[in-house]
A and B are shown apart, each in its own frame.
Chain A
Amino acid sequence: MTQDFTPTEMMTIAAARALTNDDVCFVGIGAPSAACNVARLTHAPDITLIYESGTIGTKPDVLPLSIGDGELCDTALFTVSVPEMFRYWLQGGRITTGFLGGAQIDRFANLNTTVVGPYDKPKVRLPGGGGAPEIASNCGQIFITMALTNRGFVDHLDFITSMGHGEGGDHRARLGMKTKGPTRVITDLCIFEPDPVTRELTVVSLHKGVTREQIKENCGWPVRFATETVETPVPTETELSVLRDINARTKRAHEAA
Chain B
Amino acid sequence: MAKICTLSEAIEENVRDGDTLAMEGFTHLIPYAAGHEIIRQNRRELFLVRMTPDLIYDQLIGVGAARGMKFSWGGNPGVGSLHRFRDAVENQWPRPLEIEEHSHAAMANAYEAGAANLPFAMLRGYIGADLAKVNPNIKSVTCPFTGEVLAAVPAIRPDVSIIHAQRADWQGNVLIEGITGVQKEAVLAASRSIVTVEEIVDELNPPSPNAVVLPRWAISAVVHVPGGAFPSYAHGYYARSNAFYIAWDKIARDRDSFTAWIKANVLAGKPEDFARHAVRRAANAA
Contacts and interface: CB of A to CB of B under 8 A. Distances in A.
Q: Which one of A66, A91, A119, A122 has the highest number of Cβ atoms from chain B below 10 Å of its Cβ?
A: A66
B143 interface: no
Contacts of B86: 124-125
B125 interface: yes
Contacts of A119: 130, 134
A69 to B, nearest CB: 6
A212 B28 CA distance: 45
Contact of B109 (A70, A83, A123, A171): A83
A129 B78 contact: no
A83 B111 contact: yes
A91 B104 contact: no
Interface in A64-115: 64-74, 79, 81-83, 85-87, 90-91, 110, 114
B1 interface: no
B242 A69 contact: yes
A231 interface: no
B127 interface: yes
A215 B252 CA distance: 37
B268 interface: no
Contacts of A85: 108
A65 B72 CA distance: 19
A127 B81 CA distance: 7
Interface of B: 26-28, 51-52, 71-75, 77-79, 81-82, 85-86, 89-90, 101, 103-105, 108-109, 111-112, 123-131, 134, 148-149, 178-182, 184-185, 233, 235, 239-243, 245-246, 280-281, 284, 286
A169 interface: no
Contact of A161 (B27, B131, B246): B131
Contact of A81 (B74, B124, B182, B240): B182
A254 B105 contact: no
Contacts of B286: 70-71, 73-74
A20 to B, nearest CB: 26
A131 interface: yes
A171 B179 contact: no
A42 B74 CA distance: 34
A128 B180 contact: no
Given A134-B125, A163-B129, A70 B240 contact: yes
B74 to A, nearest CB: 5
Contacts of A132: 103
B127 A175 contact: yes
A254 to B, nearest CB: 4
Contacts of A226: none
B90 A83 contact: no
Given A91-B125, A133-B129, 13 more contacts: A54-B179, A54-B181, A68-B179, A81-B182, A82-B104, A87-B112, A127-B74, A128-B73, A129-B103, A133-B131, A134-B123, A171-B128, A254-B242
